[in-house]
Each structure stands twice: as structure tokens, then as C-alpha cells.
A and B are shown apart, each in its own frame.
Chain A
């Protein structure tokens, strides 16, 4: 990174394994995810099960800074953001005392989150479309709305529902929660958005526009709209194809993505600011890059891995071309995307990945949409800080070509530099290099 030294001082990880990192560590070691049925009426989409977060207001309100927020203003996405932000604030021991912080201190804090849509379940709008249907036109087989009847249906809605449609509401909640009056941004997108948010936050810190940033991503593949899109695009595992796992990354026979919910937020700071407040750096942000490759069709990536390879190379270059010791891969569990990612890794790091060890959290978490790369980054920080062991490599029954050789060539060396990769079916990719603090 050009400019200031940017470090991570807190990690908030929220997955189907709850608030406790130890539970996620255990699940990573075993490659298992707790799956539960998808709610009606979307239960026929994809595998019909998902790795969901048990997330009620009663648990959220116990987290730092959450109490002033109102459940009525929250979607599932917002709740995920609040959860991970609270965990990060607690882990980073970030003061929320207005008397200590003051307006000037708050102005030096910001929020960058990656997210996708923020819409609540759409079944209500489907019902509204039916309720407003012009019956005469319907008899002719055509749908048209009689919007003149809309006024009578408004009693079924509250204003907050519409407010919550704004995609940036999770970030807005996080600014209130974290007493952040500094730079705010929401990066919209799928798997790469969380890493774009973290990279952007590192740039903000390097530019000197803030001392502390809460940065990360949140995602819900369980949202009805996302389920529709993923299922329609052929990304999801079919019914009955998965049991006890969040996916089979890098497996030729992988059935597809397993929808999941999650969020990760990092406390990122300028090193001198972190040290001044007595915070212990857990890792250093060394570099990041993003690249988009023209997809073959919307939501179907090109077979050409060069765009993703350029994102990886760009991040490594920005980090000063270090030897990468561990790769936290996306490993979505959807074979075409995993094949692309694998080829990009080989192209960027060499056929044996330079002896780096490969890690992937998908089997334990499912596919986390905009949180997927962010959760990888959170895990990488924990490994670099010595808080947990490197998760075991993926265990495909039928590995992608030449994967086994690379896994065999991996060297059991200390992890000093970790590469986090976020690959998305939409073609927008990102990579982040983290280093020991």
C-alpha cells in the first residue's frame, strides 16, 4: 500500500456458526455447516436448505453500539451488518464513549461495507401485484395493474419497509452504531464487494482521510430475490444434493452453491492511530486490486481466467510482490466458477502456487455473497495474528485438474503473507493481500 501503514485491530465474523469464532474454527476443521430448510414459499429453489445465522434482536442489542438502533428499520442485511460490526467493535476494543471520542474523533472514523440488494422478502410485492391486477385484462390473459386501488392496500405496509429498500442502509446503521462521522461508502455487488469495501477503506486510511474504518461485507443468499437469481442462473446445488456441508469447493462434481448468510467487519486503522489508543495490530493490509472480466452471459463467467489473475497480480504487486504463504480462496462450490478461480490462481502464482497452502471456508459457511471474500479476510487476519490455525485445504472427492499436485506441493511454513480471493459469477473479482502485523 502506498501511504500510511494500515493495520487490522479487530475482527467481527458472523456466520451460521454464531458469534463465537471458536465454533467457526471447529467447523472449518471438520468442513461441516449447519443447514436448515429454506422458508416457504421459496423452499423449492436450489437445495432447499441453507446455512443461516440465528439472528434475533435480543442477541443483537447486546452488542456494542446496537442499542440505539431500531429493529423496525432493519432488513436481514442490516441485522447482519449490525451483528458483525458489534463483534468487530468488541474485538477491537473500540471506544463508543461520546465524551471521550468527541465530534473530532467521530469524524476520523468511517464505514465501508460491501452488500448487494437490501430488499426484504419479495413475496409481499408478488401478492401486491396480484391484488392490484386488473381482472378484466386478466381474463384476456394479460396482467395490468389497477394502481387506482393501490391506496386501499397501503395499510399493509409501513414506511420503514420502503426506507429499508435503500441498499446503503446497512452502512448507515453501522455509522450510528460505531459513532462514525467520517467517510462512508457502500459497495454494491456479489462476492467481490466486501473486498472492494476493505480495499477502499485501506485507501481512505492511506490517504489520511480517517484514522479508523469499519470495513467488510455482508450477504444473504437466503433472500428470496437472490435465491431466484442464483437458481435461475444455474448456480445453486439441486434439491437433495447436499447434506451437512456448505459446498464442495474445487470439486469437478460439485453440485453448486449452497445459499448462506454471513458478514465480516474488520476494524482497520492507521498504525500510528492504533498504537496511540493502545490497540494491538493483528495484521497489516499490504495491497488490493479488483478486475472485471467480460462474462459469457449475464451471471455466467468467462472461461478466460485472466481478469481474475490480473486482480491477484495487482494485489500482489501493490503488496510489494511478497511470497504468498496461504491463499484464502473463494471456492464457491459452483464448478464453472471454481475452475476459473483455480486457473487464475495457477496463472498468477504459478502451477504449484509457489508452495502456498490453500484454504477455503465454503464447506463450513456456504456461499456468502458479498460477505464471502470479507469472511475470508477475517479468517486470514485471525491466522496471521496466531489466533487460530490455518483451516485445512479443500477436500474434493474429484479435484479439479492439477489441484492435487499443488496441494501436495504446499509447504508447511509460517503464514506471513496471505492472499484473499473473491471470485464472482458476475465477473467482478477482487484480491487482497494481508501480512503479519
Chain B
């Protein structure tokens, strides 16, 4: 008999602010959070648009134990974790060995802001930067004289800070590119089910909305270049889609053993009925066009939940708005849902908040939980002219009221790293 796994609290800092409820309200209203990038001048980059968090800062302690909480992403993820812990009411002082933290991280940002001042101080601008001797930079930065260059690459500082807040002794950091957030939730659910922990705080951060990454993905030609109409740029399943839009955000959730959560009277946000993971084993840069890996992970999640595809009421698609992904995911959904595929509503959160990359899967799992709770499915916006290869019910433009008991959330990472989550209504 498996231990039942539930989510008892959630938090998110998204392009719609630091409120989970506000996030969902805006999604249901079909609003786009995408605009020209404001945090740096992206005017000469192939793609200069994104969905930024509209906050300069959030209220969090400036330090937790020995850890300084200075980096923007670190402050956001901590806010998310604090909100999730407060919502769950998880008491301080439980057995730390029975608690864990699992944080999804990717690479940090470009670190140019960290390197720049130190490079200026140690190397200067008298030499050609591309041939200058950088030995003084490394010698000084590697010593104690300057603050550490590139510290924002090291987002593994988030997990220990959250572990202190949650009183947890098991600490994990995991990464699977765009599927990282969902992957962390999968890992947490498995830990609870196996009995390795009774409560796991899952969190995800690591935006690619930085100069270097926006430039890099731009070169790879995976970002939308619809710079003149940002709010219309993210258009999953539309025939005129031309790539994804980078977004910024963090999320957190408290995952618990159902029985212990019930005993302490915890609010149940949603139940994690099943999870599935797979790899495409195909190519690093493209998904398998037939979506075999994607279908496999959905099938695994459904089997893990002990349900068949006929019971799925809603799918929150990965739906990046890239040409290849949306077709492959559609094919995978057709394979998994079979004859019911045209009837099951599928919507794309990324059409409004862009792609939060490492945090995307966790934010979208939270969106699924709110869909179950409120009985309304947010739309896929900008779906004006559906791609002929994308033939499902994508809930275009307008939200839809529906009795959703079981939701399937997909996350597919670059390099063919796939995660599907099956969530059920709280009961």
C-alpha cells in the first residue's frame, strides 16, 4: 500500500507578482505579462522581450543562519518557500531527519554584473578585453580581497537556507533544464511515498532572463523575435508561433505524507496522485518529433496514479510555443489520450507568463492545483490560427468553467528530460 502524497502549501513569485492567487486570477483573465525587457537593454539582441517579475524586491530576511540572502533569485525563492510553509502550517521543531528540501536549480544568470566591477578593478580597460591578461582577476577574486565573482551561478545556496527555515536535514538540488521544477516535485513525492521523509519542501528558481542567456537562446533561434508585439509573442499551438518567451519566477510547495498532514489538520491543496519521468534519448537540441518520450512519461504518471487516460479532465501542457515542441506534445497527447484526445481541455500557462524554465514545472503544478480547487481552466492566449498539426482543444482566448477532478501537468526539458504529474482534487 503506497503512502498517499499531498501538497499542503504553495507559494510563487511570478510575472504577476508574489501572490499565487493573483497569478491564477490573471491567468484566468487571459492577461499577458510579456513586455519589452526592462531590466537591461536588450534592443540589439535577436529577442528583447520577456515576462519579468514586476517587483524590485520581496520581504525576506537578509540572512538565514550563515547564508546571506542577497541575490534576486534567492530572495524570490525564499519568499516562495516562506509562503508555502506558512500556508501549510508545517510546525517548526519536527524531527529534522524526517524532513527534506528538494530545490530545482539550473545555472545562475550570466554573472556579468558580478564579474564586471571586479574585472574593471583588476584588469581595467586599457587593453583589448578579448586578449587582456586576466591573471590579476583570477588571483584577486580567488583570494579574499573581493566578493566572489559569479556567486549567482551557485544557486545551491537556496536549499540550505530553506532547510534551515523548514528544519530539514536532508538536502537535495536537482536539475533537468525546463523540467526541473516538476522534477523536484516528482522527487519529493517519491521520497514521501518511499518513507524517506514525511515532509519535503520543494522549490524552484533560476531564471534565464539575463543578458547572456537571452542572447544565447536568441542565437539558438529558440526565442520569439516578435519584439514589436511582446504580449502576442508567446502563442503555443498557433501556426504563427516563432519560439518561446523567457520568463522570470520562483515557486515552492510543501509535499507531505497524507496521514501525517491529516493528523495535524493541515490544509490539503492537492493530492499528488502519480508522477512519471522519462528521457527522449534522441537529440540534445530537439525533442523526438513523434513525442515518444513525452508519451512515455505521461503513461508512467497515469499508471503510477492507478488511473487510465479516460479519467483525465484537464492537461496543463508544456507548450513552449516553439515549432517542434508543440507538435511533438500534441502527438504525444493524441497517443496517450486516444479517442478522447479532442475532448480533453489543454491549456498553456506559458502563453501568458512565458517560460520560467527551471521554475516552470512547479508553477504549472500550482496552477493545476488552483484549477482543481476553483473549477476554472485558464485559456491559451494568442491562439488565433491553430497549427494544422495541433488539433486538440487548447481552450483558446477565454477561460472555461469545468469540474476538474484530475489534472495532468507536463514538463519537457531541453535534452529530452520529461516529467508528468497527475494531481487530484484535495479531499
**Chain A residues within CB distance 8 Å of chain B:** 2, 40-46, 70, 73, 103, 106-107, 110-111, 116-119, 122-123, 125-133, 135, 138, 142-152, 154, 156-159, 161-163, 165-169, 171-173, 175-176, 178-189, 193, 196, 200, 203, 207, 209, 224-225, 227-229, 231-232, 290-298, 307, 310, 314, 426-428
Contact = CB atoms under 8 A, between A and B. Distances in A.
Interface stretch (B22-30, B86-94, B164-172, B403-411): B164-172
B230 to A, nearest CB: 17
B112 A145 contact: yes
Given A130-B125, A133-B120, A151-B45, A175 B281 contact: yes
Contact of A172 (B120, B139, B213, B415): B415
B173 interface: yes
Given A168-B413, A185-B183, A307-B169, A231 B112 contact: no
A186 B173 CA distance: 8
Contact of B416 (A142, A172, A225): A172
B216 to A, nearest CB: 3
B247 to A, nearest CB: 17
B35 to A, nearest CB: 17
Contacts of A203: 190, 194, 196
Nearest to A300: B66
14 contacts: A2-B194, A41-B135, A117-B107, A126-B115, A130-B123, A133-B125, A147-B211, A154-B45, A163-B216, A163-B284, A172-B279, A178-B281, A181-B281, A228-B149
Interface string B143-167: 1100011100110110010011000
Interface residues of B, number: 92
A45 B142 contact: yes
B305 to A, nearest CB: 14
A163 B143 contact: no
B132 interface: yes
A143 B417 contact: no
Contacts of B149: 122, 126, 228
A168 B213 contact: no
Interface string B39-56: 011111100000000000
Given A126-B137, A298-B66, A426-B156, A154 B215 contact: yes
Contacts of A42: 138, 142
Given A44-B142, A168-B413, A175-B279, A122 B150 contact: yes
Nearest to A149: B44
Contact of A232 (B116, B148, B221, B415): B148
A154 B156 contact: no
A314 B197 CA distance: 13
A224 B106 contact: no
B176 interface: yes
A91 B40 CA distance: 51
A225 B150 contact: yes
Interface in B185-217: 187, 190, 194-196, 211-213, 215-217
A294 B168 CA distance: 10
A167 B107 contact: yes
Given A43-B135, A143-B117, A182-B279, A225 B153 contact: yes
Given A118-B107, A143-B119, A159-B216, A292 B153 contact: no
Contact of A296 (B66, B130, B132, B211): B66
A169 B169 CA distance: 28
Contacts of B129: 127-128, 130-131, 133
A207 B116 CA distance: 48
Interface centre among A126, A158, A292, A296 (most CB of B within 10 A): A126
